[in-house]
């Protein structure tokens, strides 16, 4: 990556790290967007206005990646190793695959029962699993050298938990409509 193309962490003045204070990141985004807002360059030339628009887009894209733990982990692993985990994949971890199956079945049963309280308890359970997975991810990224096999598995697990939380929201919307 050339100096002209800062990575997403550099845009926000951060060291490349999985652990991020998202509220501070949001505050930094507002400050940076205010400094490059296109309205500030309304009387400037078209070149300056275009650069302002590009910087605004770049900041918003970077924020979208860094605030999301799955996207942040994928981006960080790619930044550090060149490994791309954003494509389809197969996890060769029988224990994890069994856990996925059981959680999917549990969600289907809860959705069929139309019990919003049980769905909320299930969401809390997945939230706890996600927090634990993010903690493991942070520990894996702090190791030198990086264990890329374990990081890839951890990313896929976090991705699954994230997807399950999205599916819970859909089930909740369906129950409440």
Residue 14 CB contacts under 8 Å (≥ 6 apart), including other chains = 20, 25, 66
Structural domains in the chain (count): 2
pTM metric for this prediction: 0.88
pLDDT of residue 3: 43
- CA nearest neighbour of 53 among 10, 67, 61, 1: 61
Would you give per-residue pLDDT tens digits along the chain (177 residues)?
A: 434 579 999 999 999 999 999 999 999 999 999 998 877 777 778 888 888 889 999 999 999 999 999 999 999 999 999 999 988 777 778 898 899 999 999 999 999 998 999 999 999 999 999 999 999 999 999 999 999 999 999 999 999 999 999 999 999 999 888
Q: Is residue 124 part of a domain?
A: yes
Residues 133 and 168 in one domain: yes
Residues 63 and 101 in one domain: no
Q: Is residue 33 part of a domain?
A: yes
pLDDT of residue 149: 92
């Amino acid at each position: 990556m050339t100096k002209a193309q800062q990575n997403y962490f550099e845009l926000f003045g951060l060291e490349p790290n999985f652990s991020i204070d998202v509220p501070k990141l949001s505050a930094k985004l507002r400050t940076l967007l205010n400094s490059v807002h296109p309205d500030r360059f309304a009387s400037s030339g078209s070149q300056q206005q275009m650069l302002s628009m590009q910087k605004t887009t770049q900041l918003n894209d970077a924020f979208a990646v860094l605030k999301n733990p799955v996207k942040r982990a994928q981006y960080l692993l790619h930044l550090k190793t060149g490994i791309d985990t954003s494509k389809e994949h197969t996890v060769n971890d029988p224990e994890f695959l069994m856990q996925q199956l059981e959680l999917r079945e549990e969600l289907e049963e809860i959705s069929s029962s139309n019990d919003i309280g049980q769905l909320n308890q299930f969401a809390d359970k997945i939230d706890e699993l996600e927090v634990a997975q993010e903690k493991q991810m942070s520990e894996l990224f702090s190791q030198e050298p990086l264990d890329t096999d374990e990081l890839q598995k951890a990313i896929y697990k976090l991705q699954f938990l994230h997807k399950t939380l999205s599916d819970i929201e859909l089930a909740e919307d369906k129950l409440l409509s």
